[in-house]
Amino acid sequence: MAAGPVSGCKEGEYRHNGICCPRCPPGERVQDHCTAEAGTTCLPCEEQTHQTEASGDEVCKPCTKCPAGYFELQKCSRTQDTVCDCSEGFHCTNLTHSNCGECVPHRPCPPGQGVEQPGAYRMDTQCRTCPIGSFSDENSTTQQCRNWTDCVNEISPGTNKSDTVCSQNQHVLVIVLVPVTLVILFVLLMVWQKEIAKIYSVVHFEHGQCDSDTAGGKLAVQASSVKLIPPSL
Do 10 and 20 form a contact (C-beta atoms < 8 A)? Answer: yes
Q: 4-62: CATH homologous superfamily?
A: Tumor Necrosis Factor Receptor, subunit A, domain 2 (2.10.50.10)
> What's the rounded mean pLDDT across residues 197-224?
57
86-89: long-range pairs with CB below 8 Å, 24+: 86/121, 89/119, 89/141
d(CA 62, CA 73): 17
With pLDDT > 90 as the criterion, what percentage of the chain qualifies? 54
What is the SS3 string spanning 20-67? EEECECCCEEEEECCCCCCCCEEEECCCCEECCCCECCCCCEECCCCC
d(CA 13, CA 28): 15
d(CA 204, CA 197): 11
Band (pLDDT 50/70/90 cuts) for residue 174 is: low
Nearest to residue 172, comparing CAs of 155, 187, 152, 157?
152
Do 195 and 187 form a contact (C-beta atoms < 8 A)? Answer: no
Task: Give the other-Cβ count within 10 Å of 159's Cβ.
Answer: 15
Do 224 and 218 form a contact (C-beta atoms < 8 A)? Answer: no
pLDDT at 156 (0 to 100): 93
Nearest to residue 76, comparing CAs of 91, 97, 62?
62
C-alpha separations of 41 from 19, 36, 129 in Å:
14, 13, 66
> What's the rounded mean pLDDT across residues 18-24?
95
- Could you report the per-residue pLDDT of 96-152, keeping only the tens digit for each? 766 788 899 999 999 999 999 999 988 999 999 999 999 999 999 999 999 999 998
CB under 8 Å to 63, separation ≥6 — which residues? Answer: 48, 49, 50, 76, 81, 82
Q: Write the DSSP assignment of 64-121 as a string of letters.
A: PPP-TTEEEEE---SSS--EEEEPTTEEESSB-SSSBS-EEEPPPBPTTEEEEE--BT
d(CA 15, CA 22): 9
pLDDT at 228 (0 to 100): 45
Do 109 and 125 form a contact (C-beta atoms < 8 A)? Answer: yes
Nearest to residue 29, comparing CAs of 60, 53, 68?
60
Q: Would the pLDDT of 169 be above 80?
A: no
Domain boundaries, the chain: 4-62
